């Protein structure tokens, strides 16, 4: 690929991955990002003395593509993965705390003891859950019929009670799919549970950053991209794409850091659009994909993050999942944020937050502080020194039944033009893993096409 030029539009995880892969293959790469930072929707910002992640982005041991990117960025020492899955779950209505954990046994026995001791379901519900898990394990993820059914309908067909859905299936599914079982494609839900819980005993072990996400996805990524020879243009937008005469693409740029505020890149051999689906829809040349309006039909699902700083420690573990409460997951971000003194910084991750995403901060405060006191007895009487929210209204695509047909492949019908992003056809829900896989797919397709074109010219 030496001597070839490539432009990657979008500096999220998909764009970073594609740019590094193309540069490593010998292309001359320009990465264009409209924001002043890299990392896409997995970023950090400074609020006073606190480093704040916009959301609580965790990953699993089975996220091999994302872990590969971390290795490429040289930051594996800045993340940690549980030795074995252990998710504490507290029901505020009963006061009981149990856990979803695994033993050192083969699948599916690795979860048997945890399920047997799980206090939030009856014996009959546990037995029905075991039967459903075995049926789920037997599903063929390549069967297109799975995408036409909702996960909720499938669970009811296999005897799952509303309580079992709340206490187990949605506890995991809402956090990974950003949708309830009734709003999720069976295909995507089956992929999550089969890969994460029913493939390898360690697949579901949870990993998370020990530092602000910006240290990984901006600082380290920027350094590695520069080391690889990638030209990085932040605060720069693509205003127009056009096929160039004689092959390649013309890419028009606008940005305050460009000479004269604009720049034209001529005869670009490979162009990767690693931007949100609605933005890709606006940039794609006619005829690039079949039925481009499907990108707009894919839709979005929001995530709300509630941030609370207490004047003392109120949570005695790294994270906690909740039942019987609007609270979904609570994370201790104290050390991660740089908070000093006796206080504790908690972050609540609220997925599938369509009903709350636009509520005023005051209303969210009056709703969630009492709920935290119900969930965490030590919070009763503790002082709140800070309360704020971060909102990602378009955090993920909506993983509804029928969404698979709306997700395009990396290669388009326009020669030299490729798509990347967690919303493309990776087979995964909209996660960091999906984003990195899409970047790998786009770079791989571009490399293969450029190699084939080179062979045809010399043959």
- The predicted-structure confidence for 227-244, as pLDDT tens digits, reads as follows 999 999 999 999 999 887
Output the pLDDT for position 444: 97
Omega before residue 108 within 30° of 0, cis? yes
Tens digits of residue pLDDT in 115-174: 999 999 999 999 999 999 999 999 999 999 999 999 999 999 999 999 999 999 999 999
Output the pLDDT for position 282: 95
Q: Please report, rounded to a whole number, the percentage of residues in the chain having pLDDT higher than 70.
A: 99
Residue 318 neighbours by CB under 8 Å, 6+ apart: 331, 332
pLDDT(204) > 70: yes
Query: Strand, coil or helix: what is 228?
Result: coil
Q: Which two tokens stand for residue 52?
A: 């704040």
Q: Which two tokens stand for residue 146?
A: 């799975």
Q: Which pLDDT band, with edges at 50, 70 and 90, does 1 fall under? A: low
Tell me phi and psi for residue 131, to 5 degrees: -65, -40
Output the pLDDT for position 320: 98
**Mean pLDDT across the stretch 377-406?**
97
Tens digits of residue pLDDT in 333-344: 999 999 999 999
Q: How far apart are CA 404 and CA 401, in angstroms?
A: 8
How are beta strands 236-243 and 249-255 bridged, if at all? antiparallel
**Mean pLDDT across the stretch 75-93?**
97
402-413 residues labelled b (16+ CB within 10 A) or e (exposed): ebbebbbebbbe
Q: How far apart are CA 22 and CA 451, in angstroms?
A: 12
Give the rounded distance of the alpha carbon of 436 from its chain centre. Answer: 10
Tens digits of residue pLDDT in 250-302: 999 999 888 889 999 998 999 999 999 999 999 999 999 999 999 999 999 99
Mean pLDDT of the chain: 95
Q: Which two tokens stand for residue 459?
A: 């043959």
Least confident of 3-7, 200-204, 240-244, 378-382: 240-244
Residues paired with residue 99 on neighbouring β-strands, in sequence order = 88
């Amino acid at each position: 690929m030496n001597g070839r030029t490539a432009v990657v539009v979008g500096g999220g995880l998909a764009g970073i991955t594609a740019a590094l892969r193309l540069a490593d293959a010998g292309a001359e790469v320009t990465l264009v990002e409209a924001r002043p930072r890299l990392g896409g929707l997995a970023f950090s910002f400074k609020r006073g003395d606190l480093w704040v992640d916009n959301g609580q982005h965790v990953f699993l041991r089975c996220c091999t593509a994302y872990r590969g990117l971390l290795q490429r960025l040289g930051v594996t020492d800045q993340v940690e993965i549980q030795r074995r899955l252990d998710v504490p779950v507290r029901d505020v209505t009963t006061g009981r705390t149990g856990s979803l954990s695994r033993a050192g046994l083969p699948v599916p026995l690795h979860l048997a003891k945890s399920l047997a001791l799980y206090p939030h379901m009856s014996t009959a519900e546990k037995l029905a859950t075991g039967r459903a898990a075995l049926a789920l394990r037997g599903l063929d993820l390549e069967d297109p019929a799975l995408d036409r059914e909702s996960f909720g309908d499938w669970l009811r067909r296999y005897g799952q009670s509303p309580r079992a859905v709340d206490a187990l299936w949605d506890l995991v599914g809402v956090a990974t799919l950003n949708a309830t079982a009734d709003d999720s494609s069976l295909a995507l839900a089956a992929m999550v549970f089969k890969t994460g819980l029913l493939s390898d005993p360690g697949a579901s072990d949870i990993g998370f950053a020990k530092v602000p996400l910006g240290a990984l996805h901006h600082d380290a990524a920027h350094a590695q991209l520069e080391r690889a020879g990638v030209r990085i243009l932040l605060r720069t937008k693509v205003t127009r794409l056009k096929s160039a005469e004689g092959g390649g693409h013309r890419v028009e740029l606008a940005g305050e850091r460009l000479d004269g505020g604009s720049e034209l890149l001529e005869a670009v051999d490979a162009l990767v659009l690693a931007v949100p689906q609605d933005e890709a829809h606006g940039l794609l040349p006619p005829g690039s994909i079949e039925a481009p309006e499907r990108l707009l039909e894919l839709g979005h699902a929001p995530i709300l993050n509630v941030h609370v700083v207490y004047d003392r420690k109120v949570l005695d573990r790294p994270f906690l999942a909740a039942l019987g409460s609007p609270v979904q997951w609570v994370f201790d971000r104290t050390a991660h944020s740089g908070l000093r003194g006796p206080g504790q910084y908690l972050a609540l991750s609220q997925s599938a937050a369509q009903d709350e995403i636009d509520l005023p901060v005051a209303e969210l405060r009056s709703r969630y502080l009492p709920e935290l006191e119900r969930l965490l007895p030590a919070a009763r009487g503790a002082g709140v020194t800070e309360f704020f929210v971060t909102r990602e209204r378009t955090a993920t695509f909506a993983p509804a039944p029928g969404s698979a047909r709306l997700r395009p492949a990396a290669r388009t019908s326009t020669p030299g033009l490729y798509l990347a992003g967690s919303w493309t056809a990776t087979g995964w829900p909209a996660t960091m893993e999906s984003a990195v896989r899409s970047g790998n797919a786009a770079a791989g397709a571009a490399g293969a096409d450029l190699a084939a074109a080179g062979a045809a010219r010399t043959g």
